[in-house]
């Protein structure tokens, strides 16, 4: 999809961070956008920034873990914009806890519902429309944690690895139908995700400093994503740290495993004084 001007896009998780930056970048390219998120104030601010570029931008409150809401989002976007050229499944959340401390409902179901079912629903409901049109591009945002494991990230990595695999399969299936698929695996980006990370069994950890001092600006990530769409990239690694861990995992798997063990040992000093029950309900 070389020329993006005049194209229509749907972006989930667009109230802040990578989603917002990508919407604004799309607007600068002359694209119309439907903005989806659960945070209405953030959505409206994103929409206002996009409209300032002279394009159509409308917000639709959507919980991507609810299939009926994602279907309604796709129907809404088709009606509002006349069609969908790009679907970006970006909404995501994170947890940081050893697997023995994770709660099935409050952790696993929460993370899987948004990070995995969200992209599944997005792909499922937009595909018939794109197939009928014979064109389109799907962007699934995974993470560097989808190619390189991080101790404490069992739930997060499980969903992000799954998104990578799903995207690869989907890409091979729809290429002959005129549809492109790009999986984005960013590393550290300056987004508000740290503010919503759930931790269990650990002392209070402030990850916002890591993102603030070491993270890439969301705008740079957004620029890379649009480049990936134009070039129909299979896998996009938009940050330096993501490129490094991909290289380590591919060419030095033994070293990757050793680094994981070393990092996991640090959890002993991070564990809260009061031990959590083994495999919390």
Query: What's the average pLDDT block by block, 10 residues per block, for the chain (281 residues)?
Result: 93 96 97 97 96 97 98 98 98 90 93 98 98 98 92 93 98 98 93 70 62 78 96 96 91 86 77 52 45
Reported as type and span, the H/E element at residue 69 is helix 67-81
Pairing of strands 95-96, 198-199: parallel
Total structural domains within the chain: 1
∠ CA 231-138-62, nearest 5°, is 140
CATH code of the domain covering residue 207 = 3.40.50.720
Task: Say what the pLDDT of residue 272 is.
Answer: 63
Which letter does DSSP use for residue 140 in this model?
Answer: E
Distance of alpha carbon 213 from alpha carbon 11, whole angstroms:
27
Q: What is the pLDDT, as a whole number, of residue 210?
A: 58
Note whether residue 275 is domain-resident.
Answer: no
280 located within any domain: no
Nearest partner of 120 among 89, 74, 144, 141, judged by Cα = 89
d(CA 123, CA 218): 24
Structure tokens at 124: 């499922």
- What is the pLDDT at residue 274? 44
Q: How many CA atoms lie within 13 A of 12 on its CB side?
A: 33
Q: Beta-carbon neighbour count of residue 62 at 10 Å?
A: 27
Backbone angles phi, psi at 90, to 5 degrees: -115, -25
Is residue 276 domain-resident? Answer: no
- Specify if 3 maps to a domain: no
> What pLDDT, on the 0 to 100 scale, is given for residue 278?
47
What confidence score (pLDDT) does residue 277 get?
46
156 is catalytic: yes
Whether 42 maps to a domain, the answer reads yes
Residue 277 forms part of a structural domain = no
> Is residue 58, in this structure, part of any structural domain at all?
yes
Q: Residue 25 falls within a domain, yes or no?
A: yes
- State the Cα–Cα distance between residues 19 and 184, nearest whole angstrom: 12
Q: Are 8 and 86 in contact (CB under 8 A)?
A: yes
Residue 220: give the domain boundaries: 8-270
pLDDT attached to residue 188: 86
């Amino acid at each position: 999809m070389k020329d993006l001007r005049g194209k229509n896009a749907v972006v989930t998780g667009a109230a802040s961070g990578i989603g917002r930056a990508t919407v604004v970048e799309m607007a600068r390219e002359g694209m119309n956008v439907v903005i989806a998120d659960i945070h209405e104030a953030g959505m409206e601010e994103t929409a206002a920034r996009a409209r300032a570029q002279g394009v159509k931008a409308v917000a639709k409150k959507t919980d991507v873990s609810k299939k009926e809401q994602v279907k309604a989002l796709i129907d809404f976007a088709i009606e509002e914009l006349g069609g969908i050229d790009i679907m970006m499944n970006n909404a995501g959340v994170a947890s940081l806890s050893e697997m023995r401390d994770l709660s099935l409902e409050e952790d696993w179901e929460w993370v899987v519902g948004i990070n995995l079912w969200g992209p599944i629903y997005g792909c499922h409901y937009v595909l018939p429309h794109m197939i009928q049109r014979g064109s389109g591009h799907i962007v699934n945002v995974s993470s560097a944690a989808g190619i390189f494991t991080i101790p404490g990230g069992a739930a997060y990595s499980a969903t992000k690895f799954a998104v990578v695999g799903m995207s690869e399969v989907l890409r091979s299936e729809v290429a002959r139908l005129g549809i492109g698929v790009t999986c984005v695996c960013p590393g550290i980006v300056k987004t508000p995700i740290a503010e919503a990370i759930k931790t269990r069994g650990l002392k209070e950890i402030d990850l916002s400093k890591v993102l603030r001092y070491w993270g890439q600006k969301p705008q740079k990530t957004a620029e890379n994503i649009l480049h990936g769409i134009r070039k129909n990239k299979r896998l996009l690694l938009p940050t330096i740290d993501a490129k490094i861990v991909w290289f380590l995992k591919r060419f030095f798997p033994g070293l990757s495993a050793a680094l994981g063990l070393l990092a996991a040992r640090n959890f002993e000093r991070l564990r809260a004084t009061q031990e959590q029950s083994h495999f919390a309900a």
